[in-house]
Every structure is written in structure tokens, then in C-alpha cells.
Chain A
Amino acid sequence: MSDQVTLSDNDAGKITRVEELGYELKISQVMTADVVTFSPDMSMLEALDLIQKNHISGAPVTQNGEVVGIISTEDLIRALRDGRIDRKVSDYMSTSLITANANDQVVEALKVFARKTVGRLPVLDENGKLVGLLTKGDITNGLLNALKRDYQKEELIRYRASHLFEDIESDRTSLILRYRIIKDDFLHGGAASNYIKKALHRLGASRQVARKCGIAVYEAEMNLIIHTNNGGFLRVEIEPHKITMEAYDDGPGISDIEKAMTPGFSTASEVVRSKGFGAGMGLVNIRSCVDEMTIKSSKESGTNLYMIMHLDKHKD
């Protein structure tokens, strides 16, 4: 195995977040910084006491600040088996030292652990001074903590957003999101709705409310993409107790609204159907998801669709 690993784009796509973290995190971020050390003149019995007292499985041996060896529980067992637990640490320590650099990435240490049978690496700074000790357990903990931080970041965003309304005093506070929807832009179809759903979730809406609003506004978004002359706009107004979603366009207008509300009725083309839409369920779906739905449509001014969700009705 060589140190230089070249990744193809295909392989790079398969890298997991944990593997990424192996490259992002430095050894200094995951090592145990508060290191217990032994002196070479100490007896093995004293080393045994320190190991038991500190609940560790080994420690570096230092002399004048420099690492000269390392002692593990296996060395202690050897000393006990020999019946020479009173001998010096320097008689039993391992001196073929493999160390790690504090500024290196965690993945460098992983490579060492994969190739050598060592259980712990003394970590040195750029001047060769001992600054920590690294075990596989430290790496696992470091990676897990980093993953937890990723998760907490999202939780924090959510927490901040969900208290937005409480933090601001006014007679009527609301947050308005607007999206321009482009005619025939199937590639981005549903993107705005997903942003809206995510925003509602972050603002503290329940999963069910976010999902229902998401479905309603997604259908409205696809209608703007499929059925309008020039696309249109989505406007969502979020208030503490109410979400108002609006879709409006400038034509061609719905000629028979009652017919458009009939399940299965559709004016969509074969092209649209081949993309999975035009089932004639759009408005029917919207009506079943929201508390109030109103359509105003004319040939002259296009279609306005209002969808309202009252949050108090949907308490979990």
C-alpha cells in the first residue's frame, strides 16, 4: 500500500462523512492532551499503580521532556510473569518509537494503526515536544463528536429560527418567502417547495404540517411550471398561528374551475404526463392538505390560488 492514494471522481463520490472528517480533523483535535508520563527510572510497580489510578492502558516514558519509550499493559504483564515488577521502566519499555504529528490529519494516524500493531502513538508538536497521546479510541470518540457537532449545528439553526417569533415584538409579525417559478423549468420543479418545507420545519412547524404545506405548495409550483403562459410566483407568509401560501400567474386562466377540481381531470400534454405529472390530482391534493383553499381565475388577470393552514388546528 502506498501513501499516495489517487481517487477517481467515482470513488470520491463514495466517500462518507466519517471519511471526510478523517481528512478535516487534525490529530491535535482528537488526541488526549493531558498525558500521564513515566520516567525511565521509575519501577514497573510504580508504573502499574499510575496505570490503575488513571484508568489508562499505557503511557509514554519521558526524560527531560523528550519521549524515550512507551509502556503498555503488555509490558507490565511481561514484568509480572518474570516476577520482576520491581525493575525499572527502562528495562521493559519499548524503544522502537512510532510517533504522530499534532498538525497532521487524523487519516495519517489511521494509516499507521492499520499497518503497525501499536496501540497508542505519542503525539509531538513541530519542535518534537510531547503534547498528547493518541489511541484508536480517541479517534473514534473524535469522529463521533464531530458528527454530533454536524447534527447540533442543524439543531441550533432550528432552535434559533423557531424562536424568531418570540424574539420580535410587534402587533403582527410575519415572515414572507417569495419564489419566482419559471414556465417549463422541470429541472428545478419542486425546489422552491422543498425550501418552503424546510423553512417551516426550522421555524418549528410539526412534521405533519410541514409535509401537508409542502405537498400543497408543490402541486401549486408544478401547476405554474406546466399550465401558465409565463410562469408565476409563490408567496408564503408565515405567522405564529397561520401559514398563507399563494400561487399567482398572469394567464391563461382556468376556464372551468369546477371541472379542474374533478379528480382525474387534466389538460396536461403527453410530454407533461411522461414526466409524472398531469394526473388531474393537483387541485384535489391541495384541497385535501390545507384548511382553506380559494381560486380566483380569469382570462384577463390569470389565476390566484390561496392556501391557508391554521396551526392551532394541527397541534400534535
Chain B
Amino acid sequence: MKVKEVIEICEGTLLTPNVDLDAVIKGGFSGDLMSDVLASVQAESVLITGLCNPQVVRTALIADVRLIIFARGKKPGEDILNLANEEKLPVAFSPLGIYELSGRLTKAGLPSYEMEMNLFPRD
């Protein structure tokens, strides 16, 4: 699914003008805890979050996330957008909640890109 299609399904408003809207998004991840994101998001996914600070962008960059959707109408501030613009990372915000957004994208065929956690592997 393309970045622009994900944003459309999310009823999102794009906040970073100079980005590749045709980049391919392969899956999705929702969460507010950045450590969880780092632990289990797979590359080339959309990150849906209710957290609104520069760490979200930095986390996304580290984890090769391709699009951030800020949920529940949280419009990110300039510090966040400047960082995203610098790195040409698409950022949008949506009036919808995280559950609704995840549901819509799953229904539209975008798979979960959360890795299953096996925290106590048997060696």
C-alpha cells in the first residue's frame, strides 16, 4: 500500500510536504511506548501513535518506519515536523483513534508488522 493510500484511509492530513507519497508501506504498528516500537516493529511500516514528541520521529528513523500517523487529532509541533522534514519522513495526523485506525488499515489489507515477542526463548 502506498503512503498516500494509508493517509487517505486514516483520514489523515499530511504535514510534511516534501516527501515521497508513492513509497510502499508493507505493514503497520500501533503503540505509545517507543521501546516497544524499537523492540518489535519491522522495517518499512506505518507507525500509529498517541505519543507526540520528537522521540517518535527519532525512533521511526532508527527503526526504518516509513510513515508516522499521530492519532486522536494530536497535531505535532514544529520541532517534530522540522525533524521529519529534514529526513523527508512522511508525517500525518488523524482525528481518529488508534483502535479505529489500526482496524481500518487491517481491513484494507495492510498486515500487522509487529513481531511476536518471545521474551524467554529456550536456548
B34 on the interface (CB 8 Å rule)? yes
A13 on the interface (CB 8 Å rule)? yes
**Contact segment of A116-124, A210-218, A245-253:** A210-218
Which of B33, B38, B49, B53 meets A219, CB within 8 Å? B38
B110 on the interface (CB 8 Å rule)? no
Q: If A13-B17, A15-B17, A211-B43 touch, does A187 touch B54 (CB 8 Å cutoff)?
A: yes
Q: If A193-B58, A194-B58, A211-B64 touch, does A263 touch B119 (CB 8 Å cutoff)?
A: yes
Q: A194-B58, A214-B61, A275-B51 are in contact. List 7 more A-B contacts (CB 8 A).
A: A187-B79, A189-B58, A207-B64, A215-B63, A275-B53, A276-B59, A281-B36
Closest residue on chain A to residue B85 by CB atoms:
A13
Task: Please determine whether B59 and A218 come into contact, CB atoms closer than 8 angstroms.
Answer: yes
Q: If A215-B38, A218-B58, A219-B38 touch, does A276 touch B63 (CB 8 Å cutoff)?
A: no
A26 on the interface (CB 8 Å rule)? no
Task: Please determine whether A276 and B33 come into contact, CB atoms closer than 8 angstroms.
Answer: yes
Task: Please determine whether A279 and B17 come into contact, CB atoms closer than 8 angstroms.
Answer: no
Contacts of A193 in B (CB 8 A): 58, 62
Interface range on chain B: under 10, 10 to 19, 20 to 34, or 35 or more?
20 to 34
User: In the complex, what distance in Å separates the CA atom of A285 from the CA atom of B85?
Assistant: 28
Closest residue on chain A to residue B79 by CB atoms:
A187
Which of A14, A186, A284 meets B39, CB within 8 Å? A284
User: In the complex, what distance in Å separates the CA atom of A13 from the CA atom of B117?
Assistant: 40
Interface readout for A246-281 with B: 1 if CB under 8 Å, 0 if not? 000000000000000001000000000001111111
Task: Please determine whether B63 and A211 come into contact, CB atoms closer than 8 angstroms.
Answer: yes
Which of B32, B38, B61, B64 meets A285, CB within 8 Å? B38
Closest residue on chain B to residue A289 by CB atoms:
B38
Task: Please determine whether B17 and A194 come into contact, CB atoms closer than 8 angstroms.
Answer: no
**B39, B56, B85, B119: which has the most chain A beta carbons within 10 Å?**
B39
Closest residue on chain B to residue A215 by CB atoms:
B38
Task: Please determine whether B32 and A284 come into contact, CB atoms closer than 8 angstroms.
Answer: no
Closest residue on chain B to residue A268 by CB atoms:
B35
Residues of chain B from 56 to 90 with CB closer than 8 A to chain A in the complex: 56, 58-59, 61-64, 79, 85
Could you tell me the distance in whole angstroms from the C-beta of B51 to the nearest C-beta in chain A? 4
B18 on the interface (CB 8 Å rule)? yes
Q: If A186-B53, A189-B54, A277-B55 touch, does A194 touch B35 (CB 8 Å cutoff)?
A: no
Contacts of B56 in A (CB 8 A): 276
Closest residue on chain A to residue B51 by CB atoms:
A276
Q: If A207-B64, A275-B53, A276-B51 touch, does A190 touch B36 (CB 8 Å cutoff)?
A: no
Which of A13, A17, A276, A280 meets B34, CB within 8 Å? A276
**B51, B64, B85: which has the most chain A beta carbons within 10 Å?**
B64
User: In the complex, what distance in Å separates the CA atom of A279 from the CA atom of B53?
Assistant: 16
Contacts of A282 in B (CB 8 A): 35
Contacts of A194 in B (CB 8 A): 58, 61-62
Could you tell me the distance in whole angstroms from the C-beta of B108 to the nearest C-beta in chain A? 26
Contacts of A197 in B (CB 8 A): 61-62
